[in-house]
């Protein structure tokens, strides 16, 4: 009945075909936080921090879609994230192509982390969580946005940067320079 359409499938962060496969029994306490992070914002950092109270390890995974290079080059996003989290052994920063569920399996992730800012996010996150659970029996852990950070989105930050505004207030404090 609740059939995910193929277009929903393609709304996954990284809709490329070659998944990384790889097997793992899962079951650890690793939480996979997939996203574009273009750029990584204070909203994202807040989710990571709160998730670390629940899981032993958070893997931040930057989805790479060669057809959509994005605003900040992926290598640059990775470099800045690794630099920012370098002293926290509980956080790993990776990149992946293909389906999120395949990457989750390859690292033995217990669940996928996503954030919910408003009802606008709800339908998208619901269908993704549904599809991912049907595809790979993996759960999605949703954390509600901190109300003070709920208005922050990567797209708004990109837009502000485009018009020459200072985006520093929207990035985590002490985040390496990205543009
Ligand atoms: P994607 O391209 O996969 O949507 P994003 O990098 O935009 O990836 O976001 C990754 C996740 O972080 C999404 O679940 C999104 O809802 C969540 N998120 C983004 N901004 C915030 C914020 N300010 N507060 C809480 N969650 C957020």
Residue 111's domain is classified under what CATH number? 3.40.50.620
Task: Tell me if 1 is assigned to some domain.
Answer: no
Confidence tier at 178 by pLDDT (50, 70, 90): confident
Nearest Cα to Cα of residue 114 among 171, 38, 58: 58
Residue 84 near residue 176 (C-beta atoms within 8 A): yes
Instruction: Specify whether 44 is catalytic.
Output: yes
Q: Is the CB of 61 under 6 A from ligand 1?
A: no
Task: Tell me if 16 is assigned to some domain.
Answer: no
pTM: 0.86
35 alpha carbon – ligand 1 mean position (Å): 7
Task: Tell me if 80 is assigned to some domain.
Answer: yes
Give the range of the structural domain holding residue 161, as residue numbers without chain letter: 28-167
Task: Tell me if 72 is assigned to some domain.
Answer: yes
Instruction: Specify whether 68 is catalytic.
Output: yes
Instruction: Specify whether 154 is catalytic.
Output: yes
Instruction: Specify whether 24 is catalytic.
Output: no
Q: Please tell me whether residue 71 adopts helix, strand or coil conformation.
A: coil
Task: Tell me if 17 is assigned to some domain.
Answer: no
Task: Tell me if 146 is assigned to some domain.
Answer: yes
27 alpha carbon – ligand 1 mean position (Å): 24
Task: Tell me if 136 is assigned to some domain.
Answer: yes
Q: What are phi and psi of 153, to 5 degrees?
A: -140, 155
Domains identified in the chain, total number: 1
Task: Tell me if 163 is assigned to some domain.
Answer: yes
Nearest Cα to Cα of residue 96 among 135, 59, 126: 59
Q: What are phi and psi of 15, to 5 degrees?
A: -85, 45
pLDDT digits 0-9 by tens, 88-135: 999 999 999 999 999 999 999 999 999 999 999 999 999 999 999 999
Q: Is the CB of 47 under 6 A from ligand 1?
A: yes
Q: Is the pLDDT of residue 24 over 50?
A: no
152 alpha carbon – ligand 1 mean position (Å): 9
Question: How much is the average pLDDT of 30-54?
Answer: 98
* Ligand 1 pocket test target in 35, 100, 112, 147 with most atoms within 8 Å of CB: 35
């Amino acid at each position: 009945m609740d059939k995910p359409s193929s277009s929903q499938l393609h709304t996954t962060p990284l809709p490329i075909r070659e998944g990384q496969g790889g097997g793992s029994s899962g079951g650890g306490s690793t939480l996979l936080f997939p996203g574009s992070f273009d750029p990584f914002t204070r909203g994202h950092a807040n989710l990571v921090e709160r998730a670390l109270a629940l899981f032993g390890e958070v893997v931040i995974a930057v989805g790479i879609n060669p057809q959509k290079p994005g605003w900040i080059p992926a290598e640059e996003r990775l470099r800045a994230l690794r630099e920012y989290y370098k002293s926290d052994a509980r956080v790993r920063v990776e990149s992946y192509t293909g389906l999120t569920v395949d990457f989750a399996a390859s690292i033995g992730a217990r669940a996928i982390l996503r954030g919910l800012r408003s009802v606008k996010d709800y339908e998208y996150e619901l269908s993704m969580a549904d599809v991912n659970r049907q595809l790979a029996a993996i759960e999605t852990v949703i954390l509600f946005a901190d109300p003070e950070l709920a208005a922050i989105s990567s797209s708004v930050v990109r837009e502000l940067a485009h018009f020459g505004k200072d985006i520093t207030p929207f990035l985590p404090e002490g985040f390496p320079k990205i543009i």
